[in-house]
Structure 1
């Protein structure tokens, strides 16, 4: 397992982007590390400590970040399409304008995270925690939010077209100008505290 110093040496040596791909950082303590605007596609960060790390603008496609600690990490403008973040901790992380297209986010914790303008199209967010998360203008078209917790989340202007919100919790969520078209809302907890029973709702 690589140490923080080992990884920092790789950064300072300015190795080619190709060398970063498929690298194994699983279980590493990388708290506060600078990995900005790097190509880390296919890398393994499973269980790594990336608390307060800066990964803004980096390419993290197909990267394994499952069970990683990304608390207060900066992932803004990063490409995490098809990445695995299942069981990861992203409490108060900065993810604005990030691309999570097709990513696996099952059981991930985005409590109070900034996901404004993020692309979460077709992402799997089963049982994810998005409590008080900022999802303003985010796109969640086709995303699976089965049993996800969106309590007090800001979904102002977000696009939830064809989203599966079965048994999701939207209690006290902000749905102002939110697009919820052809979305599944079976047994969904609505903002006012009622349980929605019909299978499909169309809101223009």
Structure 2
């Protein structure tokens, strides 16, 4: 087919549905530039994408073939495969309207191969990415609230400034992932590889980072409010000059962790098991040099024999 004619058909269908290139791109999870290239005849969408276009515009696939005119007279496009049926059922059946621009088109991306895919700035709440290959995918500034990532490879992914409110990320490879300035509210990270994952310039609120290997995870310039680190291995990581409020480190491995210059309020370092000598030794290996903490947190640590040099109590 003449790709210029195909581009004209896409333009016509988009305008009949009163969509901008950006709105159509959002429904297809691609960039507006890609839509522009189709419409100018500079590239061609693949068959799967053409099938999605037919769903979005409520068109039969035959519309995109070379033998079907684009109806440049401005008439409303109808599903060519169903014209006869619609005429017969006109008095008894309501014709299904075109898909709303704001209606989610796809919700399940499980098992897909999306290596390096551009999801930047998409509005995609409550999506499923289970068992997907998302290595190097770009989710920057995307709205992913309520979405779930399970058993997926998201290594080297980019979630900068993405909204991950109420997201569940479980049993994933998140190594090398960038979470700079992401919105982390009630977000759950469990049993995932976070090696060299970067949490920077973030306010983490009611986040769960449980049962994970955080020994090589990077936390810088963060505020932790209601965060649960229970049962995670945090040995040797640096948490200096950060804020911790209502945070749980219960039964976490904390050997050699540094809280230098940090502020701690109502922070729990309890063990869910018997208080063994090994546990006490682990607490004593934590560096609280120059930290600030409330009196109850201070008392609990002092009661466990932890050295608290130059700590300020408030």
TM-score (norm 1): 0.82
* Residues 1:188 and 2:210 aligned together: no
Deviations 1:139-190 (A, max 9, x none): 1101111232222222211110111122333222222110012463464332
Aligned to 1:136: 225
Return the alpha-carbon distance in structure 1 between the equivalents of residues 114 and 224 of structure 2: 30
Q: Is the 8 A contact 1:181 1:202 kept in 2?
A: no
The total of aligned residue pairs comes to 192
Deviations 1:57-114 (A, max 9, x none): 1011222211111111111100102122111111111111011121221211101223
- Structure 2: gaps of 5 or more residues: 1-24, 31-48, 57-103, 272-278, 292-302, 306-314
Residue 135 to residue 6, structure 1, CA distance change in 2 (3 Å) = same
Aligned to 2:121: 32
Q: Is the 8 A contact 2:26 2:123 kept in 1?
A: no
**Greater strand share, structure number:** 2
Residue 28 to residue 186, structure 1, CA distance change in 2 (3 Å) = farther
Return the alpha-carbon distance in structure 2 between the equivalents of residues 24 and 186 of structure 1: 47
Q: After TM superposition, list the pairs within 5 Å mapping 1:30-179 onto structure 2.
A: 30-179=119-268
Q: Is the 8 A contact 2:195 2:213 kept in 1?
A: yes
The DSSP-based 3-state class of the residue aligned with 1:135 is strand
Residue 191 to residue 49, structure 1, CA distance change in 2 (3 Å) = farther
**Greater helix share, structure number:** 2
- State the shift of 1:191 in Å: 4.8
- Considering only CA atoms, is the larger Rg found in Structure 1 or Structure 2? 2
Residue 49 to residue 74, structure 1, CA distance change in 2 (3 Å) = same
The DSSP-based 3-state class of the residue aligned with 2:204 is coil
